């Protein structure tokens, strides 16, 4: 993968790249938006805990596809409130801490989710 951070742009706000390019020969993986819902139906109340759970779910999805975190080329996150951004970003940054070629990233504040206890939803794209 090639990360693209042109000098004409301001540096990214966190652990992400402005853009990522990958060879046409690589297979793409695109997830649905993932919510912090465990197999038993439980949802953590804290947004940071929700984000960490979602990233654990991504590890499982990536493994099933024969990929790893280093294959992630884009993350899209949707948080319920501006005050949820730091907890989400801390979870994202921790999940990417050992990744050198950082994915592109989008973060949006939304008005709500399908259930009131959800505070964050994340989707990813990977290539490998």
Residue 14 pLDDT exceeds 90: no
CA 78 – CA 69 distance, rounded (Å):
20
Mean pLDDT, the chain, rounded, equals 95
Residue 126's alpha-carbon distances to 29, 47, 110, 122, in angstroms, are 5, 24, 24, 13
**pTM given for the model:** 0.92
Taken in order 26, 31, 36, 41, is the CA torsion positive or negative? negative
Report how far residue 67's alpha carbon sits from residue 12's, in angstroms, rounded to the nearest whole number.
25
Domains and CATH numbers, the chain: 2-127 (3.30.1330.40)
For residue range 41-97, what is the model confidence (pLDDT) as tens digits? 999 999 999 999 999 999 999 999 999 999 999 999 999 999 999 999 999 999 999
Which has the closest alpha carbon to 53: 39, 66, 71, 65?
39
Residue in the structure block whose two tokens are 């921790």: 94
- How many CA atoms does the CB half-sphere of 52 hold within 13 Å? 11
Tokens standing for residue 50: 């929700």
């Amino acid at each position: 993968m090639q990360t693209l951070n042109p000098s004409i742009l301001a540096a990214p706000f966190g652990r992400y790249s402005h853009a990522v390019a990958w060879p046409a020969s690589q297979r793409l993986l695109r997830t649905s938006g993932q919510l912090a819902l465990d197999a038993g139906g439980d949802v953590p109340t804290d947004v940071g805990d929700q984000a960490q759970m979602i990233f654990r779910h991504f590890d499982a999805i990536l493994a099933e596809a024969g990929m790893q975190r280093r294959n992630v080329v884009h993350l899209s996150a949707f948080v319920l409130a501006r005050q949820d951004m730091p907890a989400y970003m801390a979870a994202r940054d921790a999940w990417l801490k050992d990744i050198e070629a950082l994915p592109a990233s989008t973060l949006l504040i939304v008005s709500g989710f399908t259930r009131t206890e959800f505070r964050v939803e994340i989707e990813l794209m990977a290539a490998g």
